[in-house]
Amino acid sequence: MPQNKCPRTVCLFVAFLLQATGAPQALAEPKAAADVIFVNGHIVTEDANDRVAEALAVRSGRILAVGSNDEIRALAGHSTRQIDLRGHTVTPGLIDTHVHLASGGLDTLITVDLSDASSIAEVRARIRSRAATLKPGEWLRASGWDEGKLAEGRYILASDIDDLTPLNPAWLDHTSGHYGALNSVAMKQLGITREYQTPPAGTVDRDAGGVPTGVVKESVRDYVLARLPAPTAAERRAGIKAGLAIMHREGMTAIKDADLQPAEWDAYVALARAGELSAHVCALFHTDPSLAAAMATKARVLGLPRPPQVAAPNLVSCGVKVYMDGSGGARTAWMYDDWNVRRTEVDTGNKGYPALDPALYRQIVHLYHDAGIHIATHAVGDRAIDWVVDSYEEALAAHPAKGLRHAIIHANTPTDHAIGVMAKLQQTYDAGYPETQGPFIWWIGDNYAGNLGPARSQRLNPYATYVAHGIRWGGGSDYSVTPLPARYGLWSSVERRTLKGTYGEQPFGTAESVPVAVALRSYTTWAAHQLFLDAEAGSLEPGKSADLAVWDQNLLEVPAAGLKDLKCLMTVFRGGIVFESPGSDVVVGRAGRTVAAR
């Protein structure tokens, strides 16, 4: 981005803004005074002109003006608070277009964290510790494991933990959220035995004798989750607040929480009405794979305000999520060709499978689209992605409504056909947007590289190709599949490195990497579009919500390897400080005097 500073006039017509809000145009008038000003910074506005400024003023939670230090100081009144940025870089608050904040935050409170476990022995040690705290019959729950991180390079099996949990059912959820491992007590309790009939769109791994190993995938995982003890309403609210705290520490101010169940929506509403939802949240409701379920979800969504209207403060009902297929980690995503194993071997006969009948999916798309509901479809495999974009195109041709912003969640390895359709849909209908996760390359990249094989790996997250075709995408984490901080997504979009380097440090190649300035767009303005927040967030411009992040380094100039280690010094949401880093040299005070930050 050009590093030019704003012109001497205050950015984007402050006088016009004040007139539009009913305030006097004369900047010297007390009513025009800012509540807070940020000065001596390097403010990356992410506006249409890529302007960089020194200072910014906030009034009533919204950006009043962006300009030079002198221009912004002229907006200060007697009670204006001043924040001296000490030369640090400011960006808009970062936005994640695909998270599971409600469930991921809850996991941090109630499950054993296996996300950094590096061996079966380490998994066993953590399970042993938790089991010692449980009463007989209580469920032991763990989450976050990934065979790609384990020294053994294999799934966790019931036999790995049975001796540690003889009196307790146990469920160890995989980081992908598409499979996991049960112990033998749990399998017996749930009826997953040799005689168990695997349902459609599901998998039960079995040994050579047909006995379940404990690993279950997709619809069988859903069966397990539906039978676990339900969290309380208080636990759900606490989980969301735990997720918000991570966001605040990482300069993030908006998310799209996908796949919500009614109880999770209720928890968000309760926090919002209590004034405790300190981020923009765009919610997508879960769709079960049946027409009756889709009709019920349609009725629920149509009973709520349409985006961008809020259903409660900072909370928008954005639309629905539908699943077309499964996971790249589980090798259940729907592909044209067989999955690979260990990079060069072939998982013969396994092309994955659709999560529901493709014809039914297309019927559901028409149902939602014709009702004017935003659709975001989970599609990982190349065949699934083709089916989704073709379904969108068919629905839009029959009912050419613009602005619904239909999305393809993950869109891991799109074909040339899919890329062409995405470009057409974006240009013609404002639809067909990939909502992708750069950190897949890093956090679960060793697993993905082994499963995709050498050729398909080069197509994972084809950001440079998107740019060449004029396609915009939304960045994200899929938290808690990968860690929540958006800085990991920025770094991964540029560097394309895996965590362990099992198949080389960059098994996905670098041809599809993009400059950080482009990656930043996917976490700011392009992401805001997918949350229906265009007028509210994503850039630092007068009239928008004062959501911003202060960083220890200049994101646009730091060496690419350093993006991963960026440190957020301060996060501001709607003009209020929601996070300050201990020891930060940013100072807070009144205009004309400053005091050390807390």
In a domain, 190, yes or no: yes
| Terminal Cα-to-Cα distance of the chain (whole angstroms) | 33
- Asked if residue 460 is part of any domain, the answer here is no
The pLDDT score that the predictor gives to residue 18 is 32
| Residue scoring higher pLDDT (361 or 11) | 361
In a shared domain, residues 119 and 221: yes
**Residue 565 exposed, middle or buried by CB count within 10 Å (0-12, 13-18, 19+):** exposed
pLDDT at 31: 59
Q: Which pLDDT band, with edges at 50, 70 and 90, does 392 fall under? A: very high
| Domain membership flag for residue 421 | no
Residue 207 and residue 148 share a domain: yes
Average pLDDT over residues 81-105: 98
The answer to whether residues 19 and 82 belong to one domain is: yes
119 and 88 share one domain: no
Closest CA to 564 of 441, 478, 468, 448: 441
State how far the alpha carbon of 376 is from the alpha carbons of 72, 271, 364, 411, 560, in Å.
41, 25, 12, 11, 31
pLDDT higher than 60, residue 26: no
Whether residue 510 is contained in a domain is answered as no
Domain presence at residue 292: no
Per-residue pLDDT at 15 exceeds 90: no
221-243 pLDDT, tens digit per residue, is 999 999 999 999 999 999 999 99
Mean pLDDT of 384-408: 98
pLDDT in tens, 30-82: 357 999 999 999 999 999 999 999 999 999 999 999 999 999 999 999 999 99
pTM reported for the whole predicted model: 0.93
Range of the domain at 573: 14-93+543-596
Residue 207 forms part of a structural domain: yes
The reply to whether 366 falls in a domain is no
pLDDT at 4 over 80: no
89 & 117 share domain: no
Q: Which of 28-37, 359-368, 477-486 has the lowest mean pLDDT?
A: 28-37
CATH code, domain with 60 = 2.30.40.10
Residue 99 above 70 pLDDT?
Answer: yes
Establish if 5 belongs to a structural domain: no
Confidence of residue 591 (pLDDT cuts 50, 70, 90): low
Residue 76 pairs in a beta bridge with 34
pLDDT score at 32:
79
Average pLDDT over residues 250-271: 98
pLDDT at site 244: 98
Residue 589: band (very low, low, confident or very high) from pLDDT cuts 50, 70, 90: confident
Within this chain, do residues 66 and 115 fall inside the same structural domain, yes or no? no
* 86 and 135 within one domain: no
Residues 122 and 72 in one domain: no
Report the pLDDT value the prediction gives residue 471, as an integer from 0 to 100. Answer: 98
127 and 206 in a single domain? The answer is yes
Encoded amino acid at 525, one letter: T
Task: For Cα atoms 242, 248, 252, give the angle at the middle one, nearest 5 degrees.
Answer: 115
State the pLDDT confidence band at 350, using cuts at 50, 70 and 90: very high
Are 89 and 156 part of one and the same domain?
no
Question: Which of the listed residues 199, 225, 251 is the one where a domain comes to its end?
Answer: 225
Asked if residue 316 lies in contact with residue 307, where contact means CB atoms within 8 angstroms, the answer is: yes
Chosen domain end from 173, 190, 225:
225
- Angle subtended by helix axes 233-249 and 101-110, to nearest 10: 100
Indicate if 63 and 147 belong to the same structural domain.
no
Q: Both tokens of residue 135?
A: 């009463």
Task: Report whether 284 contacts 376 (CB < 8 A).
Answer: yes
219 in the same domain as 155: yes
Q: Domain containing 183 — which CATH number?
A: 3.10.310.70
Tell me the per-residue pLDDT of 323-340, one tens digit each, with 9 for 90 and over: 999 999 999 999 999 999
Domain boundary among 172, 202, 225: 225
Distance CA 590, CA 397 (A): 57
Whether 263 has a pLDDT exceeding 60, the answer reads yes
Domain count, the chain: 2
